[in-house]
Structure 1
């Protein structure tokens, strides 16, 4: 797979990568150790947890992206949506930001997080790395790893493995202490992540064996696997999930739900991912993990180069904890799959037996059959509703004159011969079942139907049943509910019957009400609550059922609810005092502090890192996105000069403390005017996140380095770097064509080529690429051809002669041309490119550097970081006349937020008119701006705000105007909260 900056391209490439990789890898899972098997086990048909067939409905989130004060809240929201599991990364640089200094406290307290997971009755899948991806800075690798000699990541490399071992020595005991067989939540462990060479149980080299042996040595006892299982935005694909050769369940560890390029939901998202989820359920999947269910925030400097502070992901639970439409979509599929998990975790493909139940060929039929019963799925892939009669042997009388309506894109489940208890079997459910809830001797079946839909259920009973409901038809050995769904509004339609010691209750409600229906367990008993927008914490004490309720600020506050115990439904009214959130808090009384003092000649640099040549950001152990470089230059005469140095990110040069010019460091050169004499050259550098290094193996010392690095040169004149254009290409037949040298350039053979274009149609192949380097000025002794990325292997020819070969894409390399005779004329530059997967060609523009002989600038000093944002020294009232223009600046003020009891107001910082930088509220770093999503303001977690004055500090790297910034409300995410108690007697 290639590393690209285009999000759409990344999606396509990763999909292609996982599809291609699955042919050579597998989705197998290593079994549990004997001591753990009674607690977590599996066979080819499903997972078995604590002796019960269990469908794993998992929610992806990262504790690293959530303040620890909000962990319980976010996990409870996940549980309320029917999830029984969470999946997390244990990101390396989050726990070992500084080499050898491990942090497992506060927001980093993984143990506490997993304990809360257990407290809520959820399971955990833990992905321990050491690589993560996750749109996280450097893919989760600590920056200090870049400066370890001989280190190659994700390979059988001793330096890398020794640091992995040390990290695992601290990390794995936290995880393994909480395995399910030791009373914890952890049921599965993933070693590595999305490695090109090892998924499932594939161990392609010693690196994987090292990870395995280390984890087992440290006490891993639950099942585990490498890299992941079935990553895709539509994991079920064409629905062929059954595999007789698979020794374990089918599971997707990354079902991509929406995408990280999005804030909030788009129209159609809920329906799209609803269908993709039901495809898994209908075709034999045994579980799935949505990546993500709650995205959260990239606090501090944790974002990669594709995002900023927000990692909302557009998914079910918003960055600020609000519930989106897709939340209820996830909830519906979760409760159904868990209700019928003893079927779905022990089934075979039963489609053949039911292929003729409808004459409508536009409906696709699939089925799962098991000892516990059958599930049949009517799939309407079209865009129009289909109403169809069903032809089922033995149910002709029940179905006579009736039709089932399947909505566009819906996968509609039917239930057959499902054993509810020893007294009752659900012979047929032709209405949609939302959930089945066991409540002591009562079993409640919640069905979903709109007004006018057919309610049609038949129960077989061991003995004759009794019922007080007129709509229920009771016979000696069966019970039937057969009527049109009446208009229900906010109240379910209730049916019920008893037989033997068992009671069956059916609650029929429309979809709007199932969205407001919650299943909660308190002290081992299940309760059902309908009519509320959200149910949080619940407790039973002194005969009272007390719940924390919540409704969005923008919705009607009055609600009518019903609490269903095992015996009755208790009606209650909930009247919330509706509250309007103030929309804007204007900011004033700003203070300013110069953040460019490191540019002046008199600054004390005794603690700075000193080196001959500039070192990349992070060489001094700083982990921020900012750094200063300083050196001295002696200019022989007035004039225009060009500075050349490799770099990554953004830069601003200062001469003797005065701003000189800004440039993109990746351009590697800057031209400016200088006066004769000795000067202090200071360069401020910043970046917007490092690459996540997806699928990258090998050395990381020079991959996506930031700041300045390598040899620095200065020369009068310039600029000296120019981009080569006018490219052509011609297809080659085979790899050995390179031995014959490039074919003569002829436009009848060579076709025009645009940099970045794929000439291989996403397939393996070979091609020639040609351009002409213009004749250089007289006296030029050397030019260097700069290759930033060639996809993927390249052989370089100068005037038909091979001069270099390079293997690997996304890796810069250079070729010098020093032949004096050749430099007197235009030069033919030809590349032979070998492509082995996906697209190929010349990834990035190829440039030439004609600086030749130049003066090296040595004696560099480095200091990372913006400075102490919380320092009380150096502040003054903002005065534009005293502020240094076009230079980094600190700004500070205070603000107050309204405090209304029972409300959660959501506030965000709007960096309007600012450039690039970071924001702190009460000492907490909100993350980087500008945002790259539709939401441009930065979320301020409510737990970080306080009554009275709150301090706001902004570090703007561009020194932009601060006066247009504001604190703004995200009213759609605000909530009204109220506690209500309902007598149970």
Structure 2
């Protein structure tokens, strides 16, 4: 077992770990998998209070919801990333996709962006969201934080939290816990109200998220105990756990999920389906994640949560520094509600797992008993057995199709074609009702639907595939099907369907009856299976086939109605069937007229308002905040991503001056009211050419999102600062910052090697090392990283800055230990002030202890030789952007490519609603720099996107029929003449109505 402190969840590793993962995805290395899920020592859960036992409970074999064995097929969806008008639609899409549960974060800075002002209405109405989950018959897993990660601004921490003296996040820190408690006082009553014990949907609660020290039931310190006691005091009754369970892109790993020591079910709270670097679907996604899902089902898993099943959008300024407006995630349900191939593979697996949950949630490994089925060394066989029956899984891990003939004792030979990577389930001795058991189901069973006295078995097959189902009955069966009656054979108390599948445009339909119990078999090809839906929100469970997507349904004593859609570019649905307990009925598709649609919205001539007026030398400061030193962006309560700074400086002589400041990310620099340059603040310094005399300096600063602070513990005031910050120095000459890029690596046998001190650097024997590369081959290890810093004679001080080491680092200067640093993704620095040391070349040695996965120095190391300089003070600061406080009025934009600094732009467009069309529009900010877009006052988020030219999704409820307004704030002042609003064909749909008046 690994020490729990070595656990580092991979989804939080967004530096070299993520880039390596992305590279492998791009190369198509589908066998690659993270191992962190297997490294989590404790994947246990706390039982709920006694009040919850009959509602949400578990044992070592599986979950029990309302005292029924339940396989949890959960969909990750963030209500914070979806307008509330679309919640029901997205939730129904997930339910139709075979999911029975929704997992959410309750992001802190989404609900308390301003200190003490809590927002739980509109898009933040958690109470309404959880009520919708319940209304649709779904369960909920709620992850209450207070840390979330989620590729969200600061991982969910409110900006105001950064500036609380003495506060240390995610530790047993009274100041931090005080604010957590205040948030929980408002949040938890909503969550607890919706627990299943209170008639709601919440079956599980997660405290914290991906904490580097405690997962499952591990509570290594008082901080964890505080979260537990607070939540229990606030009425938590259902089962709960800390941080997460089995996070990985292939959680089943090598398939060894059984653990006799685990007192609870195996569950993955983050099964990473695709990644946040992707929009849309790649050809390999569906097959890759299909296999990884079936591995969980086949090897004893009791549930999973796809992160994300629906990604959504980062509206406003909610994105972190890895994203922009899109959080599509390449998910099963796309950002705009389109259904990807992944959706249908997830649907199959979900329907199957839930159909056979009586086995899967109470099973033991029975693989040994069924190895006789094949002598093939490539094909793998596993099995799960319980009192409810047995599931046998045929696994083809090869890169080519396998065709195998199996002979089961007492049955005729049966041939199965297994696609590359496919896991094929065989059902054995599964009780369908009190009179019929499925003795052998050798064909691909898609799902089993119980409709009171009718049980429907959905079978998927390709044309020409053999179909074999064998049933045992307690009474004599009667074949009821007329068309295909000859394919069903009854012999005593044995019923067999043994045929070859020949698609006929609608499902092949077989029926037999035992007393009052009816067994219905529907055989469909893959395309038809994709268009088959189970609707159980009506008073009678219904099966509908032939529909691209089935929306809301209504069943009454006189008829059945349903809203349905198909992609605008797809073939229309024509032949649809309804299967109720009483029988089947062909449904009427209400006709939809063809309409020519312009795929481009016409924009009126752009208007402009100057946002760079705050650089003017004679500007009155008005509401600007004054401070001796520049404040971090947000320290004044600013919730946007930009700010203005102004001060004055006297240049004693003309020449080049170097300015240094903490902060980030970018600045547009004005001297005496004139734009002179753009500055990447994170580069550390800026050179200005100044004339002798007094100068007005103005900086418009902006950032691309704050770090999500993954795995970070401690104070957050100095981490990932934005804007200008801290002591700002200016000095004649420069540059003064350089990067140490000539490194060498020597492996160390163990941690004891540090006691002997660093070896003398021998560049002939040591291996050259490139910053950001893995020195430890994805394993634990120790090693020396060394370089030489040139002599700096006469320099009073030299600063060595590390952005991140992976993981723990000990620094040595000329063989002497000077600093010990623990943790990954945490900046630190060391200052040398001994002039005698600085007068000669310096050997810098870093001893790194890598505790898991990749390791090394994962970010550039810089030295700063500025020494001393003039500290600029007397600063003024102002929020931005705020369209209302720009004094200039709107003017028609002249044909200028780039204006003088940040600018506002405005245009209008007409959008006419077209009957039976649900059109998706995207703003493509062609030719623009960095900025944000508003549609009718709604902030779509940040551009440019980091995942290609996808455009910025405009949620349909934010558009009006008729005249609409678009406003763009471009930080670089680029001309919007190339901006377009285009229709996204893949997400746009045709809506229609299905109906039948006679349901008997």
**TM-score past 0.5 threshold:** yes
Relative distance call for 1:682 and 1:482 in structure 2 (3 A) is same
Asked if the contact 2:469–2:497 (Cα under 8 Å) also holds between the matched residues in 1, the reply is yes
Residue 554 of structure 1: aligned partner: 569
Residue 450 of structure 1: aligned partner: 462
* Residue of 917, 941, 947 corresponding to 1:933: 947
Relative distance call for 1:862 and 1:527 in structure 2 (3 A) is same
* Residue of 609, 614, 617 corresponding to 2:625: 609
Instruction: Please state if 1:5 is matched with 2:15.
Output: yes
1:156 counterpart SS class: coil
Give the distance between the partners of 2:698 and 2:164, measured in 1 at CA. Answer: 27
Which stretch has the larger CA shift, 284-293 or 861-870? 861-870
1:70 counterpart SS class: helix
Give the distance between the partners of 2:357 and 2:983, measured in 1 at CA. Answer: 42
Instruction: Please state if 1:193 is matched with 2:209.
Output: yes
For residue 299 of structure 1, report the CA deviation from its aligned partner.
Answer: 0.4
Residue 565 of structure 1: aligned partner: 580
* Residue of 897, 901, 913 corresponding to 2:911: 897
Residue 71 of structure 1: aligned partner: 87
Relative distance call for 1:977 and 1:146 in structure 2 (3 A) is same
Relative distance call for 1:571 and 1:671 in structure 2 (3 A) is same
For residue 493 of structure 1, report the CA deviation from its aligned partner.
Answer: 0.9
Give the distance between the partners of 1:251 and 1:190, measured in 2 at CA. Answer: 13
Asked if the contact 1:306–1:689 (Cα under 8 Å) also holds between the matched residues in 2, the reply is yes
Instruction: Please state if 1:861 is matched with 2:876.
Output: yes
Residue 314 of structure 2: aligned partner: 298
* Residue of 947, 955, 959 corresponding to 1:945: 959
* Residue of 205, 218, 234 corresponding to 2:221: 205
Give the distance between the partners of 2:878 and 2:778, measured in 1 at CA. Answer: 44
* Residue of 519, 533, 547 corresponding to 1:532: 547
2:392 counterpart SS class: strand
Asked if the contact 1:790–1:843 (Cα under 8 Å) also holds between the matched residues in 2, the reply is yes
Asked if the contact 1:4–1:10 (Cα under 8 Å) also holds between the matched residues in 2, the reply is no
Listed as ranges, the matches of 1:588-737 within 5 Å are 588-735=604-751, 737=753
Residue 576 of structure 1: aligned partner: 592
Normalization by structure 1: what TM-score? Answer: 0.96
Residue 430 of structure 1: aligned partner: 442
Give the distance between the partners of 1:838 and 1:466, measured in 2 at CA. Answer: 61
Residue 496 of structure 1: aligned partner: 511
Residue 224 of structure 1: aligned partner: 240
2:653 counterpart SS class: coil
Residue 28 of structure 2: aligned partner: none
Asked if the contact 2:333–2:339 (Cα under 8 Å) also holds between the matched residues in 1, the reply is yes
Residue 140 of structure 2: aligned partner: 124
Asked if the contact 1:581–1:969 (Cα under 8 Å) also holds between the matched residues in 2, the reply is no
Residue 272 of structure 2: aligned partner: 256
Relative distance call for 1:774 and 1:59 in structure 2 (3 A) is same
Residue 74 of structure 2: aligned partner: 58
* Residue of 304, 328, 333 corresponding to 2:349: 333
Asked if the contact 1:886–1:960 (Cα under 8 Å) also holds between the matched residues in 2, the reply is no
Asked if the contact 1:869–1:953 (Cα under 8 Å) also holds between the matched residues in 2, the reply is no
Listed as ranges, the matches of 1:254-293 within 5 Å are 254-293=270-309
Which stretch has the larger CA shift, 824-833 or 591-600? 824-833
Give the distance between the partners of 1:16 and 1:411, measured in 2 at CA. Answer: 18
Which stretch has the larger CA shift, 660-669 or 115-124? 660-669
Give the distance between the partners of 2:375 and 2:821, measured in 1 at CA. Answer: 61
Relative distance call for 1:780 and 1:253 in structure 2 (3 A) is closer
1:221 counterpart SS class: coil
Give the distance between the partners of 1:161 and 1:16, measured in 2 at CA. Answer: 39
Give the distance between the partners of 1:21 and 1:569, measured in 2 at CA. Answer: 46
* Residue of 843, 861, 867 corresponding to 2:858: 843
Residue 180 of structure 2: aligned partner: 164
Deviations 1:451-483 (A, max 9, x none): 211111111111111124232212221211111
1:211 counterpart SS class: helix
Give the distance between the partners of 1:934 and 1:331, measured in 2 at CA. Answer: 29
For residue 738 of structure 1, report the CA deviation from its aligned partner.
Answer: 4.5
Deviations 1:935-954 (A, max 9, x none): 43100001100111100000
Relative distance call for 1:40 and 1:854 in structure 2 (3 A) is same
Which stretch has the larger CA shift, 191-200 or 795-804? 795-804
Residue 136 of structure 1: aligned partner: 152
For residue 408 of structure 1, report the CA deviation from its aligned partner.
Answer: 2.4
Which stretch has the larger CA shift, 434-443 or 916-925? 434-443
1:329 counterpart SS class: helix
Give the distance between the partners of 1:736 and 1:281, measured in 2 at CA. Answer: 44
For residue 707 of structure 1, report the CA deviation from its aligned partner.
Answer: 1.1
Asked if the contact 1:18–1:230 (Cα under 8 Å) also holds between the matched residues in 2, the reply is no
Asked if the contact 2:587–2:995 (Cα under 8 Å) also holds between the matched residues in 1, the reply is no
Residue 417 of structure 1: aligned partner: 429
For residue 822 of structure 1, report the CA deviation from its aligned partner.
Answer: 4.4
Relative distance call for 1:461 and 1:780 in structure 2 (3 A) is closer
For residue 796 of structure 1, report the CA deviation from its aligned partner.
Answer: 3.8
Asked if the contact 1:611–1:861 (Cα under 8 Å) also holds between the matched residues in 2, the reply is yes
Relative distance call for 1:286 and 1:11 in structure 2 (3 A) is farther
Relative distance call for 1:936 and 1:850 in structure 2 (3 A) is same
Give the distance between the partners of 2:425 and 2:269, measured in 1 at CA. Answer: 24
1:711 counterpart SS class: strand
Asked if the contact 1:553–1:579 (Cα under 8 Å) also holds between the matched residues in 2, the reply is no
How many residue pairs get matched? 978
Relative distance call for 1:765 and 1:430 in structure 2 (3 A) is closer
Relative distance call for 1:497 and 1:929 in structure 2 (3 A) is same
For residue 244 of structure 1, report the CA deviation from its aligned partner.
Answer: 1.6
Give the distance between the partners of 1:829 and 1:95, measured in 2 at CA. Answer: 46
Asked if the contact 1:30–1:201 (Cα under 8 Å) also holds between the matched residues in 2, the reply is yes
Asked if the contact 2:77–2:310 (Cα under 8 Å) also holds between the matched residues in 1, the reply is yes
Give the distance between the partners of 1:744 and 1:371, measured in 2 at CA. Answer: 67
Residue 906 of structure 1: aligned partner: 920
Asked if the contact 1:25–1:202 (Cα under 8 Å) also holds between the matched residues in 2, the reply is no
- Structure 1: runs of 5 or more not aligned: none
Asked if the contact 1:282–1:368 (Cα under 8 Å) also holds between the matched residues in 2, the reply is yes
Give the distance between the partners of 1:803 and 1:319, measured in 2 at CA. Answer: 50
Residue 5 of structure 2: aligned partner: none
2:297 counterpart SS class: helix
Give the distance between the partners of 1:943 and 1:274, measured in 2 at CA. Answer: 33
Give the distance between the partners of 1:54 and 1:850, measured in 2 at CA. Answer: 63
Relative distance call for 1:736 and 1:534 in structure 2 (3 A) is closer
Asked if the contact 1:150–1:159 (Cα under 8 Å) also holds between the matched residues in 2, the reply is yes
1:559 counterpart SS class: coil
Asked if the contact 2:74–2:306 (Cα under 8 Å) also holds between the matched residues in 1, the reply is yes
Asked if the contact 2:931–2:942 (Cα under 8 Å) also holds between the matched residues in 1, the reply is yes
* Residue of 982, 987, 994 corresponding to 1:968: 982
Residue 96 of structure 2: aligned partner: 80
Give the distance between the partners of 2:422 and 2:802, measured in 1 at CA. Answer: 51
* Residue of 452, 465, 470 corresponding to 2:477: 465
Give the distance between the partners of 2:486 and 2:947, measured in 1 at CA. Answer: 56
For residue 608 of structure 1, report the CA deviation from its aligned partner.
Answer: 2.5
Deviations 1:819-854 (A, max 9, x none): 444444444444444444443333333333222231
Relative distance call for 1:532 and 1:117 in structure 2 (3 A) is same
Relative distance call for 1:344 and 1:819 in structure 2 (3 A) is closer
For residue 759 of structure 1, report the CA deviation from its aligned partner.
Answer: 2.9
For residue 584 of structure 1, report the CA deviation from its aligned partner.
Answer: 1.6
Relative distance call for 1:91 and 1:11 in structure 2 (3 A) is farther
Instruction: Please state if 1:31 is matched with 2:43.
Output: no
Relative distance call for 1:840 and 1:541 in structure 2 (3 A) is closer
Which stretch has the larger CA shift, 74-83 or 426-435? 426-435
1:623 counterpart SS class: coil
